[in-house]
Structure 1
Amino acid sequence: MSTLLRLATAGSVDDGKSTLVGRLLFDSKSVLADQFDAVERVSRDRGLAAADLALLTDGLRSEREQGITIDVAYRYFATARRTFILADCPGHVQYTRNTVTGASTADVVVVLVDVRGGLQEQTRRHLAVASLLRVPHVVVVVNKIDLVDYDEAVYDSVAADVIAAARDLGMPDVTTIPVSALAGDNVVTRSERTPWYGGPSVLEHLEELSPKGEPDSEPLRFPVQLVIRPQSAAEERFRDYRGYAGQIASGVVHVGDEIVALASGRTTRVVGIDQAGQELDEAFAPQSVTLRLADDIDISRGDLIASADGAPELTQDIEGTLAWLSDAPLRSGSKVLVKHGTRTVQALVKAVTGRLDLDSASVLPTDTLDLNDIGHVTLRLASAVPAEPYVDARSTGAFLIVDPHDGNTLAAGMVGDALLATANV
């Protein structure tokens, strides 16, 4: 089992995300003494009787003053069994874009629900984002169980609603856990105050989960970021050096492997793999390396080096699902930029055809997408890209929509009919 797990937390406002993360950090002894001292001082200044563990994640001054989490806060912590990279996402509906960011690379999404309020629209939205992004695991933490006197029936009712909503969105396997992040029940250790619950604590469950597919189970996808060809070289061995630098998006590459360069379609072999001055026999995602090839073929930034066996096809037409992140609506006929891998091309929005309705989990016809809408679109690109269905390849199946005027990101996109697969239609 891999020791590294990437997780993202999400939930509605005041569901206790930051408190849960703070409790995980504190109870797993991942907090330095001076950090905890600072939290205690701020808590006393606010008139609190005990340390507010939420402050361990709310690092920005403005966040502390407002008492809310307003950005994705990344934290690293470790237990004896594994290492975690955690993205704590905001709860406000206008910050759904941050949830998309946090969940896009996650192995597991932890969604919080206040047991008193139950399933909310934002809960459905977070579940929909996790489903669309094909996050391998989803854990729903039913929080503040202490405020209903650890009532099993109340928990069961909320858990049943959550599981039903997840199934409507095409997510058959969702784990629910009753928790009090404030009191620490079932966060790191199992609580004696929920004897009716026989499952693991949140941390125990996270330690047992398997991350997404191992690198050797996926085909090689290597977006070229930079062509390295020194103009002058002090050493003879670098005089004719030509390498292609980037981060491996998926798969494994070995010296001797046959590869294809896209968009040219030329094939050749890998003769060297360099990393930080060392030569490697193999490299795998997500390592950043420089590849040397047997033939001097036309490759530039934005091209893709892929396994010769099973390389993606080039296309100028993309049907996909968008999580629209801009205040300005998207309409058919809009001119945008599409960033796919390391390549950015001009594109036309040929049609906006549907929007996911979170209440009914169905796709409704529409010709516009507004802020935080999740919808289906058809794009025509000015030049072809090696796009693959997102359900098959997260790296080459993902893209961004960018404003051609100011360079702002407008949407996160997934190639294929992910929306229709998610919706219960």
Structure 2
Amino acid sequence: MPKKKSSALPGPNDRQARLTARRNMKMAESAHAYVRGNTSKFYEWLDGIEGHTLPEGPAIWICGDCHTGNLGPVANTDGDVEIQIRDLDQTVIGNPAHDIVRLGLSLATAARGSDLPGVTTARMIEALSEGYEHAFDATAKDRPIKNAKPEAVRVMMKEAVRRTWQQLAIERIEDVEPSIPLGKRFWPLDKEERSEIEALFERREIADIAVALRKNADEENVSVIDAAYWVKGCSSLGRLRYAVLLDVDGGAVEGDDLCLIDIKEGLKAAAPRYPGQDMPRDNGERIVEGARHLTPALGERMRSARLNDRSVVIRELLPQDMKLTVEQLTQEEAMKAARFLAMVVGKAHARQMDKAGRRAWLSELRRARSKSLDAPSWLWKSIVALVSSHEAGYLEHCRRYALTPAL
């Protein structure tokens, strides 16, 4: 049954101002948050650098927004959990060097936020380079990196494997009861939005998302229990975002019979794509296709569709899907995080290349070393320039927005 609309919560025509203000305030929380929420500034910098400053890597699907918050535990349909790329909004067929630089920027700002010395950032970039290259090295199996996972990752993986649907419900919707509570995180829908969402899950190809992980379930029994506008994310604030609670078998009870769905608008990617590459024109289809190449465990759980005449991506949220938080780091953990996360990204890139392609890209990555840094000079110079421009941009952002109360 649709819930009574609260006069204090905005409807569809009043959301944008609040969402913009909230996004600006979240980005003002720290320089690291500013980097996470400002993909466009990264690509503005990229557009302004001289040609051939970065190597032109092989044409593969890249994340396009490869910061630490977009990596984390992801479960596949068999329940296996691994640290993977978990947000593919910006995915395109492009230059893998862009993902490396973006990840390096994110790690460098996290190190700055942890008040680590500059030499630690330099060592992090060396560790990042080592971890990424390890994924392309044919001899790497004979030289495994010992104790590669940082403590934060080990703890999160243990938590992810143990998590239940009840924990997911309490974390995401604050209750295990079959409803979505309206408030700060969830805003009411109008009748048209509710009707379109219900119609969406009457389609078997969409409803099968909810039955993919459940034996003997039938798409025809899937029904919408509740739905709300979801105030979620940072860079995504302002686009369509819905939380949908589904009943899978027609007898709503807590646990396996319920399914929490995330519907997210797919917008045009800011990440530059290589010309002449065959990619879906629809943004939702592009995101799903990129996920299938970069993070198959996630891609097989996603669908694209049209909602309110906009392209959207639909996926079930699982208890094991978590966001990796890299905030306060010690020097040792900083280098472990850089090495491990770069290895995750490297594996996502490497699985799309043949043996010759991996060998050629590895050779390119190992060029242009200096005597004082065991990492490509283009990577270090790019991160130094980006940290400088983003810190200046962050301070200006705080002046413009953090002094004004949020709506």
Q: Which has the higher strand share?
A: 1
Structure having the higher helix fraction is: 2
Tell me, yes or no, whether TM beats 0.5: no
1 or 2 for the larger relative contact order (CA 8 Å, sep ≥6)?
A: 2
The TM-score range, normalised by the shorter chain, is: under 0.3
Q: TM-score by structure 2 length?
A: 0.24
Larger radius of gyration: 1
